Amino acid sequence: MSEQYEVRPDDEFKRIDKLLTEVITDASRSQIQGWLKDKLVEVDGEAVKSNYKVQQGDTITWSIPEPEPLEAAPENIDIDIVYEDEDVVVVNKTAGMVVHPSAGHSGGTLVNALLYHCKGLSGINGVERPGIVHRIDKDTSGLLVVAKNDKAHQSLAEQLSNKSVERKYEAIVHGLISHEYGTIDAPIGRDPKDRQRMAVVENGREAVTHFRVLDHYDDFTLVECTLETGRTHQIRVHMKYISHPLAGDPKYGPRKTWGLKGQALHAKSLGFEHPRTGEWMKFEAEPPEDFTEMITFLKNRR
């Protein structure tokens, strides 16, 4: 299906590839340049190049074919299964593991491992994301629940939508937070200055993070974050927004602050209603070794 955009006065003289990164929020500039090269983008019915400077009143039309789904293959990869029954699997994911296949990550993912270890997964999210109800970032460790059938998937998705799933994270952040509790209610969307990052933006999607201070160190704070919503990079973006970015975060924090595999963020606690029995289930997983080593070091330095 084709989509259109009419160039406004404040868009005039912008390069078309730059303008379209502002209009098509889920595409990168390099992707858009590829579409222009393949003549999938037209201005008033004519294909144009990436450096075309738009004029007020131009009608830009694009029709991008759906990408071929990446069918995940089973792979014998060790994973930490905390709980499993006929409906759900709860996994303690290691930092560095991608949750599902995508461009650049066709294998070695949690989904590949689960397809090997489990007899079946929910098909609602298609062949590239079977069973995946919610995700955590590649370099974030900790708990997530996976659906083994469509009924379980629907129930868990509804619970996430109703904000009844309990998700608590531990994080080490830069600086000393002066108050014991706080709530960050700030919408998150694509960063207009860098399409590879998310940011607090006026027209973003609702995002709410509650936090509680667990400990203070000389120049870091250990916090527990509770998610009310689940936006991409939510805790990382919100903590940066209040000037306390996560330690070791390569995208949103100071570079090379600690020898961590990624940001100091761990999904420690997960609670939900079992989709078949209605029983409330809660799981906890301790942070990985590099996370706890950093805490020990910071405590000893006080």
222 and 98 share one domain: yes
7 and 107 share one domain: no
Residue 297 burial by CB count (10 A; 0-12/13-18/19+): exposed, middle or buried?
exposed
Here the CATH number for the domain that contains residue 54 is 3.10.290.10
Q: Which residues pair with 222 in a beta bridge?
A: 172, 215
- What the block records as the tokens of 14 is 């912008």
Structural domain includes residue 179: yes
22 and 90 share one domain: no
pTM for this structure? 0.77
Residue 126 belongs to domain spanning: 80-300
Compute CA distances 273 → 92, 93, 136, 147, 241, whole Å: 18, 21, 20, 13, 32
Examine the fold and report which residue of 34, 63, 92 is the final residue of a domain before the chain moves on.
Answer: 63
Secondary structure (DSSP) of 41-67: EEETTEE--TTPBP-TT-EEEE-PPPP
What's the rounded Cα separation, in Å, for the pair 265 and 37? Answer: 40
pLDDT given for residue 2 in this prediction: 75
Structural domain includes residue 73: no
86 and 202 share one domain: yes
Residue 272 near residue 153 (C-beta atoms within 8 A): no
pLDDT above 90 coverage of the chain, percent: 70
Examine the fold and report which residue of 63, 94, 111 is the final residue of a domain before the chain moves on.
Answer: 63
147 and 239 share one domain: yes
- What the block records as the tokens of 2 is 């084709």
Considering its fold, how many domains does the chain have in total?
2
Here the CATH number for the domain that contains residue 266 is 3.30.2350.10
- What the block records as the tokens of 250 is 């390569």
Catalytically active residues are 137
More confident residue, 1 or 208: 208
Render pLDDT for 143-182 as a digit per residue (tens, 0 to 9): 999 999 999 999 999 999 999 999 999 999 999 999 999 9
26 and 98 share one domain: no
Structural domain includes residue 72: no
113 and 223 share one domain: yes
142 and 278 share one domain: yes
Residue 98 burial by CB count (10 A; 0-12/13-18/19+): exposed, middle or buried?
buried
Secondary structure (DSSP) of the chain: --EEEEPPGGGTT-BHHHHHHHHSTTS-HHHHHHHHHTT-EEETTEE--TTPBP-TT-EEEE-PPPPPP----------EEEEE-SSEEEEEEPTT--SS-BTTBSSSSHHHHHHHHSS----TT-TTSTTBSS---TT-EEEEEEESSHHHHHHHHHHHHTT-SEEEEEEEEES---SSEEEEE--EEE-TT-TTSEEE-TTSB--EEEEEEEEE-SSEEEEEEEESS--TTHHHHHHHHTT-PBTT-TTTS-TTSS--SS-SEEEEEEEEE-TTT--EEEEE-PPPHHHHHHHHHHHHH-
16 and 46 share one domain: yes
pLDDT given for residue 127 in this prediction: 73
**Which of 45-49, 55-59, 60-64, 253-257 is least confident?**
253-257
Structural domain includes residue 295: yes
Structural domain includes residue 236: yes
Query: Is residue 104 very low, low, confident or very high in pLDDT (cuts 50, 70, 90)?
Result: low
56 and 144 share one domain: no
Return mean pLDDT, the chain: 90
How much is the average pLDDT of 212-219? 95
Render pLDDT for 218-245 as a digit per residue (tens, 0 to 9): 899 999 999 999 999 999 999 999 999 9
Examine the fold and report which residue of 14, 33, 63 is the final residue of a domain before the chain moves on.
Answer: 63
95 and 240 share one domain: yes
What's the rounded Cα separation, in Å, for the pair 117 and 120? Answer: 9
16 and 112 share one domain: no
pLDDT given for residue 122 in this prediction: 87
**CB hemisphere CA count around 282 (13 angstroms):** 7
pLDDT given for residue 130 in this prediction: 85
Q: To which residue do tokens 């405590």 refer?
A: 299
Structural domain includes residue 39: yes
